[in-house]
Amino acid sequence: MPINAQNRSLPDWFTRIRTRQITLPRFQRFEAWGRTNVTQLFNTILQDLPIGALLVLEIGDEEPFISRPIRGAPDDGERITEHLLDGQQRLTALWRGLRNNYEDRTYFLYLLPDDETKMPYFIDSLARWRNDGDKEQRPFWANDPKQQWERRVIPLELCIPGEEGKRPFREWAREAIVDRDEREDVTDQVSGIREKLAAYNLPFLSLPVTTDKGTALDVFIKMNTSAAPLTIYDIVVAQLEAGMGRSLHDLVADARKHCPSVAEYYSLEDLALYAGALMQGRAPTNATYLSGDFGPRLLENWDAFLSGVSRAVGFLNEEKIFDAARLPTDVVVPVLVALWSRAPKGMDAEGRARTTLRTYLWRAFFSSRYEKSTNTRSLADFIELEPLVAESGGEGAAILDEEQYPVPHLQELLLAGWPKKKDRVARAILALALRHGGLDLADASPVSRENLAKREYHHLFPDAYLKRQDVPDDQIYRSLNCAVVTWQTNRNISDKEPERYLAERREGTDIGESEIRARLASHLIPYDEMMQGDYKAFLTKRAEMIYQAMIEVCDVTGS
């Protein structure tokens, strides 16, 4: 079967999306990328780096599969000529990002130096929302060209190639930038970025129109499930064994026996590289891993690494963070391993180190510190926190600075989605609730690593109950409406309204109201608002409880 490799510029892709010449087979999953993936994609393009080839199936007179448009694209158009088999997330992110048609987020071009890439500009995004009665999205400054430019940000849709972005940008610039010379300089910069996007080549492989459905499906499955390229870890293993006669595989196998529960949080192979780089004071990048001295220095620090792993896992367990599925961000794991490898042992010194690391952990969970440039920022955090942890001095750390990296306000907590998804703030809310004990509502057993596997994500106001009241899904699936309980408890509650199942607990047992209140409080759940059955009031009250616990554990008042 011949496969043709071809080139295609971004504007050509956009033309095909706009005219609905290219669609997605319906069997593909829906849009799954979050804001971090989208911004990383755009910043990769701004560096003139490749983002991989796409795979399309050419279409003849009849579509072999039922299809749908790319998210945000028109439903009507010309005859469909291609199905996109691989590349949905990338193409959707480019299409939607350059039109800013995300409901709860706006993407901006920042004309500021980027920490990680050293480029003079970068792309990032901002959460948007509306309070009751608002005609415009908040924060309001993001709607005003002058206030946008005060922050050196430009809405990303103004950078789209061609006249579609050029004319709106001129109107924006006239309103935003008073100084004519500055306006002309910025116009030149944005024109250069627009030209870069217009010239960017996004190649693709093309299956011919003669490809039968079975073969096309087979190619799609293999492209999406069985890619197994040589990893950086494999290369480091080979270098160590060739140069020093030591087996990193054997060392990692011994480490896994030494601390088996680390696998609940992070791949030990990846952790050895990432934390190993930090312990050497180097960025966790491929360039570091492939340097000639990385392997020998990794071996020199191995015993300290093992100590750091054990202490970091113990610390996470103390904070009731038991596995990767409940981690708001996994960047903290290698940083904690590196820092615990340097922390003093015993007495007051270890206690002070634990206090510092606890503040770091929760600020990493709740702030946007690791939304981008994670390699650069994890190294900076290790370097800045290490003297504080080791009590050898230090002048503070950026992640501990509330002005630079503020924790979410109440409205952001209210909007946080379902914690089973990879939503940082949503998972942080659940993690903070579990930290307070997480007693099961029926048997009062505290949450632990041993019983976590038997617990389920439970809607405090059941989804079926809320749907009967016409509450939309995006308001039902909120982190503030979630608790982790045993599966038996979850089945018993079913779709009952909260006041009913709490009354049944109170009246059908001898535990009494005070005990029920205590069990709910161990999840930071307000009893009175649940009994009243007012979902909106419940969310607001719980957000206030979470907020208060958050500012305490993040040491906001002490910053």
pLDDT band at 559 (very low <50, low <70, confident <90, very high): very low
Residue 491 has pLDDT above 60, yes or no: no
The CA angle 88-90-95, to the nearest 5 degrees, is 90
For the segment 352-367, the average pLDDT, to the nearest whole number, is: 96
| pLDDT per residue as tens digits for the range 110-123 | 999 998 888 999 99
Residue 2 has pLDDT above 50, yes or no: yes
Return the amino acid letter for 508.
G
Q: What percent of the chain has pLDDT over 90?
A: 65
Most confident of 200-209, 244-253, 510-519: 200-209
CB within 8 Å of 20: residues ≥ 6 apart: 69, 73, 74, 75, 76, 77, 78, 80
pLDDT band at 215 (very low <50, low <70, confident <90, very high): confident
For the segment 194-205, the average pLDDT, to the nearest whole number, is: 95
Residue 79 has pLDDT above 90, yes or no: yes
Residue 248 has pLDDT above 90, yes or no: no
Residue-level pLDDT at 456: 84
Residue 535 has pLDDT above 60, yes or no: yes
| pLDDT per residue as tens digits for the range 137-179 | 999 999 999 999 999 999 999 999 988 889 999 999 999 999 9
Q: Give the separation between CA 89 and CA 32, rounded to whole angstroms.
A: 7
Closest CA to 272 of 331, 337, 323: 337
Question: Between these two residues, 553 and 291, which has the higher pLDDT value?
Answer: 553
| pLDDT per residue as tens digits for the range 321-349 | 999 989 999 999 999 999 999 999 988 99
Residue 227 has pLDDT above 60, yes or no: no
Residue 509 has pLDDT above 70, yes or no: no
| pLDDT per residue as tens digits for the range 389-432 | 998 877 889 999 999 999 999 999 999 999 988 899 999 999 99
Residue 225 has pLDDT above 70, yes or no: no
Question: Between these two residues, 301 and 238, which has the higher pLDDT value?
Answer: 301
Poorest-pLDDT segment among 126-130, 177-181, 379-383, 456-460: 456-460
Residue-level pLDDT at 67: 85
Residue-level pLDDT at 373: 85
Question: Between these two residues, 435 and 220, which has the higher pLDDT value?
Answer: 435
For the segment 82-101, the average pLDDT, to the nearest whole number, is: 95
pLDDT band at 230 (very low <50, low <70, confident <90, very high): very low
**Strands in 460-503 per DSSP E:** 482-486
Poorest-pLDDT segment among 196-205, 420-429, 438-447: 438-447
The strands making up 54-58's β-sheet, listed across from edge to edge, are 4-6, 204-207, 54-58, 82-86, 22-25, 67-68
pLDDT band at 226 (very low <50, low <70, confident <90, very high): very low
DSSP run (H or E) holding 539: helix 535-553
3-state DSSP helix/strand/coil % of the chain, to nearest 5: 55, 10, 35
Residue 526 has pLDDT above 80, yes or no: yes
pLDDT band at 65 (very low <50, low <70, confident <90, very high): confident
Residue-level pLDDT at 74: 93
Residue 276 has pLDDT above 80, yes or no: yes
How is residue 259 written in tokens?
């601390």
pLDDT band at 292 (very low <50, low <70, confident <90, very high): confident
CA distances from residue 557 to 1, 119, 545, 549, 551 in whole angstroms, order as listed: 65, 35, 16, 12, 7
Return the amino acid letter for 66.
I
Residue 229 has pLDDT above 50, yes or no: no
- pTM greater than 0.85: no
Residue 242 has pLDDT above 80, yes or no: no
Residue-level pLDDT at 238: 58
Q: Give the separation between CA 406 and CA 403, rounded to whole angstroms.
A: 6
Residues 183 and 173 sit within 8 Å (Cβ to Cβ) = yes
Residue 48 has pLDDT above 90, yes or no: yes
Instruction: Give the mean pLDDT of the chain.
Output: 89
